[in-house]
Chain A
Amino acid sequence: MSAALTGPALGADLVPQPSELTVVVLAGGLDFEREVSLRSGRRVTDALRAAGVTTRLLDADADLLGRLTDEQPDAVFVALHGEAGEDGALRTVLELLDVPYVGATATACRVAWDKPNAKSAVRAAGLLTPDWVALPHSTFRELGAVAVLDRIVARLGAPLMVKPAQGGSALGAQQIQDADELPAAMVSCFSYGETVLIEPFVAGVEVAVTVVDLGSGPQALPAVEIVPFSGVFDYASRYTAGTTTYHTPARLAPDVSAAVADVAVRAHTVLGLRDLSRTDAIVTPDGAVQFLEVNVAPGMTETSLLPMATEAAGLDLGEVCLAMLCQAAARR
């Protein structure tokens, strides 16, 4: 099992000094998570500038390719959330431009971004993840929603989580208590995407585990335990200060804490991710760790989980970002 990474374990040799790097932080885009991304981008930009790095914050718009070509950054930090930054498309373009970037490759993103694919991959590797059904609207339309939903409830039971198969920030995600609520939840969820993922709601301790690779392999930062006042870690609970209590590190027994770190590192490895990721999981009352999803461009806002984990590990966010940018630049 991998132990959680802390400041001393990082080692002074892995924390780079301010360098001559010129970097671009990409944020914004046209995804539903644009606002969150802009805030992440500004936070990373501030942290990098504080670390002495020349940093430009750019939106992913029609001017982007020209600006990247003109400015020739040493590396790009992708703070784009949602489809724009996590489905692999933009990273493919960066690869076409030979611009190094922090984070998973386009190929790895395509698997990790899609929750059902990611769940299949981690389950095949032996990790626990709640059962699930993922279907497009067309299946329900063609086969009859009532019959298909009845089968889903018969298989998965209730309560259930209904969420878009792709996307983050809990946008479109809903917890439903019984089958009667399912049709309306489906209508709401399909507004966010073509495929809906339904899985049993798993009660337990909600944790988020950041994994960083600063040159010596992927290592987990201390897990953050999430206790939303409303009981549901929805968009409002995520981005309104004062509506969720975060325990860092999570209040887990040492062996469970190690298991959580191990799940996050294994998910990172199995999915072929690079540099950083954040795994969301539930620790059930019996101590089992259920993988929910992984984020390849984790949030970096004031209320985001990765910066909390970084701080708990005794690390400086700007220096961690800089270390990953240095690694990315070295891949050119």
Chain B
Amino acid sequence: MSANTLDPYADRYAQRTGGMTASEIRALFAVANRPEVISLAGGMPYTTALPLDAVGALMGQLVAHNGTAALQYGSGQGDPRLRERICEVMALEKITSSPDDVVVTVGSQQALDIVSRVFLDPGDVVLAEGPSYVGALGTFAAAQAEVVHLPMDSDGLVPAVLEETLQRLGRAGRRAKFLYTVPTFHNPAGVTLSLARRPEVLALAERHDLLVLEDNPYGLLGFDGEPLPALRSLSESRVIYLGSFSKTFAPGLRVGWVLAPHAVREKLVLVSESQVLCPPTFNQLAVAEYLETQPWLEQVKVFRELYRERRDAMLEALSSLMPTGCTWTHPHGGFYVWLTLPEGVDGKVMQPRAIHARVAYVPGTGFYADNNGRREMRLSYCYPEPDRIREGIRRLAGVVEEELDLQKTFLPRDRTGTIRRTATSADAPAPDLT
């Protein structure tokens, strides 16, 4: 006779693996990869629009003319030439910076991780918008930090809420290690911190000695006018800035960066070296070549127009098709619309019905560390073409109607019930979901 848990390593795992279980919700996402399903779930940039021939030629020449260096180890801080180009990119959002303060990372996800390793001990408090980027929440969870969410309105973070939270923490003898924020074209909420609020948030940070971690992958993908000034452009000492080429060029290259004050930067480099030795040299040089030899800002313009058309298609379809009681944000850039369902409708519980109707979204619970977001969902318009977006919303509207019908049958207002499902970090899809 044998007794087996199928995991002989169970008594060796770190505590942080505690929530890493198979997820019913994640299993449903597996279906979303099939072409029959219109996926409004994943946040995949539309790489089809890239000048692939030019990129291919550029990479070929990189190997032919500079292959020895491109295929060799590089600096742990990142290629100096690329760091110069990165400073030029940041200047578009009014950031003044030195290449010496830039650390190139394996996507900005690694930047999140090294910042967390430098600043967070288990039990530390991190402030984050509610909802917040799922990849950041996963990183903070791995660091065993406690995330305190800050609700937003249509202008992003609410300074009064931030202040009240800081005061409350202070009264409890606690101090947030930093505020994590995606101020521009928020993932997943689709809102933007208004120009007026930006200095207010930084003034509060100054008053309460709060560090700000600004994550800005979408800043150049605005649909209206010039890029907004980054928070980092308003404060050099209070803000650590994360940037990425995943949305403006190619996510597959995994090139991002962190801009940090000197003292922090030194530690970030050491942590990064212990993780990856150096960011991929070939990819860094390819990005540098792309920025130097290709009309990359024109390409960003192509992306902007394309995403604007898809945003319009989604908003129009939502307006004309969604049942009464649904509300949603109106993004001015980026990839996402955040939808709130009618009272009582649970986006996570509803998901199997949606998959059956061949439409996928990400339930809101994945974007909170505290199991909130049951009435919410993230809809992405970046990847499907406009006709598919309209059809996807039509299907989603039907699913919500059916769910409302169920609610009416089983949960009339005079009866209450709790739908029991526990959120885990696995409630969000893998990054390659379309």
Residues of A within 8 A of B (CB): 30-36, 38, 61, 137, 140-141, 145-146, 169, 171-172, 174, 180-188, 190-192, 234-236, 238-249, 251, 302-303, 308, 312
Contacts and interface: CB of A to CB of B under 8 A. Distances in A.
Given A187-B407, A248-B4, 6 more contacts: A30-B31, A145-B410, A184-B419, A184-B420, A190-B406, A241-B6
A184 B6 contact: no
A246 B410 CA distance: 37
Interface of B: 1-7, 9-10, 20-24, 26-28, 30-31, 34, 36-37, 346, 349-353, 355, 358, 403, 405-411, 415, 417-421
Contact of A32 (B2, B7, B355, B420): B355
B3 A183 contact: no
A303 B6 contact: yes
Contacts of B407: 187
**Chain A CB within 10 A, most for which of B4, B10, B355:** B4
Contacts of B6: 241-242, 244, 246, 302-303
Contact of A187 (B28, B351, B358, B411): B411
Contacts of A185: 417, 419-420
A7 to B, nearest CB: 15
A190 B351 CA distance: 11
B406 A137 contact: yes
Contacts of B353: 191-192
A186 B10 contact: no
Nearest to B10: A242
Given A188-B349, A235-B22, A242-B7, A33 B419 contact: no
B357 to A, nearest CB: 11
B421 to A, nearest CB: 7
Given A184-B419, A242-B6, A242-B10, A140 B22 contact: no
6 contacts: A34-B31, A137-B406, A181-B417, A184-B419, A234-B24, A235-B24
A61 B34 CA distance: 9
B409 A246 contact: no
Contacts of A191: 349-353, 403, 406
A248 B352 contact: no
B31 A181 contact: no
Contacts of A190: 406
A239 B27 CA distance: 10
Contacts, number: 129
A243 B351 contact: no
B409 A32 contact: no
B419 A187 contact: yes
A239 B396 CA distance: 29
Contacts of A303: 6
Contact of A244 (B1, B5, B27): B5
B417 A241 contact: no
A171 B352 CA distance: 9
A31 B352 CA distance: 10
Contacts of B351: 191
B23 A235 contact: yes
Nearest to B11: A242
**Chain B CB within 10 A, most for which of A33, A169, A241, A244:** A241
B23 A34 contact: no
**Chain A CB within 10 A, most for which of B409, B415, B417:** B409
Contacts of A182: 417
A239 B22 contact: yes
A59 B36 CA distance: 13
Given A36-B27, A188-B421, A183 B411 contact: yes
Contacts of B21: 236, 240, 243
**Chain A CB within 10 A, most for which of B3, B350, B410:** B410
Nearest to B28: A32
Given A192-B352, A236-B24, A183 B31 contact: no
B5 A236 contact: no
A248 B2 contact: yes
A76 B421 CA distance: 37
A187 B1 contact: no
Contacts of B28: 32
B14 to A, nearest CB: 14
Nearest to A149: B410
B349 A38 contact: no
A186 B7 contact: no
Given A137-B409, A240-B21, A248-B4, A31 B31 contact: yes
Nearest to A174: B420
A239 B20 CA distance: 11
A30 B33 CA distance: 10
A183 B410 contact: yes
A240 B3 CA distance: 16
Given A183-B411, A242-B6, A242-B10, A38 B419 contact: no
A41 to B, nearest CB: 12
B426 to A, nearest CB: 9
Contacts of B3: 245-247
B256 to A, nearest CB: 29
A38 B31 CA distance: 11
B353 to A, nearest CB: 4
Given A183-B415, A191-B350, A35 B30 contact: yes
A145 B409 contact: yes
A303 B352 CA distance: 23
**Chain B CB within 10 A, most for which of A36, A140, A236, A244:** A236
B420 A236 contact: no
A235 B27 contact: yes
Nearest first, the 6 closest Cβ-Cβ pairs linking A and B are: A242-B7, A184-B417, A239-B22, A35-B30, A241-B7, A183-B410
